[in-house]
Structures are given as C-alpha cells and as structure tokens.
Structure 1
Amino acid sequence: MPIDTTLKALDDPVRRRILHLLQEKSMTVTELVSHFDISQPAISRHLAILKKADLIRDSRQGKFVIYSLSTSVLEEMILWIRELKGETDETADSEVPERARS
C-alpha cells in the first residue's frame, strides 16, 4: 500500500478515532455510528477510506458486516519510521532494559 494512501487515511480525526474504537473491539457500522455525531453514510465513507488503506478489514456475519483493526500496515510504517531514524533491530533492542527483554 502506498504510504500516501495510509497517511491520508490517518490524517482525519474521525478515522483515527474509528481506529481507536476498533482497537478495543470489532464493531458494525451501527455500533460505530453510536460513538459519533455524524451520519451512518459519513461513517461508511470513512470506513471505505480506512479499508482502501488496509488499516481495517471487514467480514460478513449473517446480515452484518463486522469491522476490525488490521495492524500490518501500521507495523510496516513503524519499521519505515525506525529506518528513517537510523534505528536497527539491534539499536531498538539495546534501548529496552535487559529485564524487559526476558
């Protein structure tokens, strides 16, 4: 996924809040709407952008579509940022106290 698509998806506060909510648990669009003061079609548009960026996934359970967080793109971005900072796996590991690694 191009990084521009991911960054654009993360640029909106509503979409970031959706990600936080989905971090807690998977939800239907109706459940998500109950956390916002915007319409269901607006939430659906935000979900489509997040899905296009591979930040969420959906699955059908009966007549419901359940949305859940997908962290693989976020993990790739973290690695990319660490590379930009000049960190390697050894550098990151050395910053973790010895007792936290065991």
Structure 2
Amino acid sequence: MNKAFKALSDPTRRKILEYLKDNDMLAGEIADKFDMSKPSISHHLSILKNAELVLWEKEGQNIIYSLNTTVVQEVMKWFLDFREEK
C-alpha cells in the first residue's frame, strides 16, 4: 500500500484518478486534459500502474486505462480504520 500512498501524493495523479472515476480513457485522452508533455503524463500513468491504482489494456496501438476500484477501496478502508482507532 506504500506505493499507492506515494502515487496519491501527487496532484496530477489524483486528477487522473478523478477522470478515470467516471470513464475508462485512452492515454491520449488523459494527456489532452493536462498542459504538460505526453511523456510526463506517461510517467504519471506508470506510477499509477506500478501502485496498481489503475488497470490498463492494450487495444491495437491504444492503451485504455481504468480505475482499479479494488486498490482504491483498500486505501479508503485503511483511512476509515485509522480514523476509528483514534
């Protein structure tokens, strides 16, 4: 879960997750939402993949990203459990 928390520490990566909350998206569609280079977005997506916060599927030359709700739920559970311990 440490990788997930590290991934969530960046506002760009949190914004990517917000976009994926509603719809699966192509890498290019995600990149179009930001004013930064495609390699920079690719780096952020790589960190999210490594943390297992996003799932990806290659379809031809496109990569489709989706939110991995299982890991997001685990992170939320940790926060809720942490809150209850106080």
Q: TM-score, normalised by structure 2?
A: 0.89
* Unpaired stretches in structure 1, ≥5 consecutive residues: 88-102
Mapped to 1, the partners of 2:21 and 2:81 lie a distance apart of: 25
1:73 paired residue number = 71
1:51 paired residue number = 49
Structure with more of its chain in strand, by fraction: 2
Pairwise CA RMSD = 1.3
* Unpaired stretches in structure 2, ≥5 consecutive residues: none
Structure showing greater relative contact order (alpha-carbon pairs closer than 8 Å, 6 or more residues apart):
2
Mapped to 2, the partners of 1:40 and 1:47 lie a distance apart of: 10
Residue deviations 1:47-88, cap 9 Å, x none? 00000001001001122110111111111122222222337x
Larger radius of gyration: 1
Secondary structure at the aligned position of 1:36 is classed as coil
2:58 paired residue number = 60
How many pairs are equivalent?
Answer: 85
Mapped to 2, the partners of 1:62 and 1:81 lie a distance apart of: 38
Candidates 16, 26, 35, aligned match of 1:37: 35
